[in-house]
Amino acid sequence: MLDIYICEDIEIQLKYIEKILKEYIACRKKDARIVAAKRDPEDILSEISKHSNPAVFFIDVQLKGYSIDGFELAKRLKKQNNEHSIVFLTSNDKLAYKVFEYELDALDYIIKKPQYFCNNAENPELSKRLDNIFEKLHNIDLQKHKKSITISNGSILTKLFLDDIIYIQAVKRIHLVEIYSYNRVISCRQSLKSIFELLTDRYIYVNKSCIVNMDKANSLDKQNRYLYLDGEFQVEISYRELKNVEKVLNNL
């Protein structure tokens, strides 16, 4: 269940945004609910302390007449939980493009147009914007549930999703381990053994210096002992591991 909070200082706009979101959730059958729709940002901060579900906040940028503006509210929310998602609301086109300059990792923004509130009805342009926002939220949720490992290279920590790894190769002459994915290669000084201990049973040794994600294996050349992988990669298989590689590949 996704919790939704709205903070908008103008009452008519607050009610409209709440109404549109409720209708959107019902129409699209989203697993979401509106927990609070408030004009005062302090009320939002008070309300969020009562709940622990993943949350998205629709926040007006200016919040005139209150002690903090939308940017400061977003900062405080992110400080409480960096996984909160922020969608800024503004009637100022220039401010709309500035929301990404405040290093708040904003999910998106909505430009409040007068015709939205005058008609008090769903607008196709606004509905499309909400489609994009909820698609982003869905993708974030998928990413949260994907298994990952954290690789250390000195003071730099890199998070890698297991599904993205194709194979891992130890490079002995320079004492590095290289991790290959579809679009990048990450080098680190962790041992191959220590990385292998972090992986699932879908990963196997194909030789003493190479681990392969067998979900990325396409074909096996037994005669020349090569395993062909996604991304047009190929790795050599040792005599010792050939039968095991063939067995695992046949069971995929």
Compute the residue count for the chain. Answer: 252
Side chain identity at residue 83, one-letter code: E
CB atoms within 10 A of CB 142: 9
Structure tokens of 202?
Answer: 């879908």
Structure tokens of 60?
Answer: 């007006």
d(Cα 233, Cα 216) in Å, to the nearest integer?
Answer: 10
Q: Tens digit of pLDDT per residue, the chain (252 long)?
A: 899 999 999 999 999 999 999 999 999 999 999 999 999 999 999 999 888 777 999 999 999 999 999 999 999 999 888 889 999 998 877 665 666 665 668 899 898 888 777 777 678 889 999 999 999 999 988 888 889 999 987 778 888 999 999 999 999 877 899 999 988 999 998 999 999 999 999 999 999 999 999 999 999 999 999 999 999 999 999 999 999 999 999 987
Structure tokens of 3?
Answer: 């919790």
Structure tokens of 241?
Answer: 């591991």
CATH 3.40.50.2300 in the chain: give the residue spans.
2-145
Which helix or strand (DSSP H or E) is residue 136 part of?
helix 124-145
- Is 211:199 a contact under the CB 8 Å cutoff? yes
CATH of 2-145 among 3.30.230.70, 3.40.50.300, 3.40.50.2300, 1.20.58.1690: 3.40.50.2300
d(Cα 120, Cα 113) in Å, to the nearest integer?
Answer: 11
The pLDDT score that the predictor gives to residue 4 is 97
The pLDDT score that the predictor gives to residue 38 is 98
175 sits in the region (left: phi over 0; alpha: psi -120 to 50; else beta) called left
Pairing between β-strand 55-60 and β-strand 32-38 as defined by DSSP bridges: unpaired
Please state, rounded to an integer, the average pLDDT across all residues of the chain. 91
Using CB atoms within 10 Å of the CB of residue 237, give its burial: 0 to 12 exposed, 13 to 18 middle, 19+ buried. Answer: buried
CATH for 148-250? Answer: 2.40.50.1020
CATH 2.40.50.1020 in the chain: give the residue spans.
148-250
Of all residues in the chain, the percent with pLDDT exceeding 70 is: 95
Dihedrals φ, ψ of 35, to 5°?
Answer: -85, -40
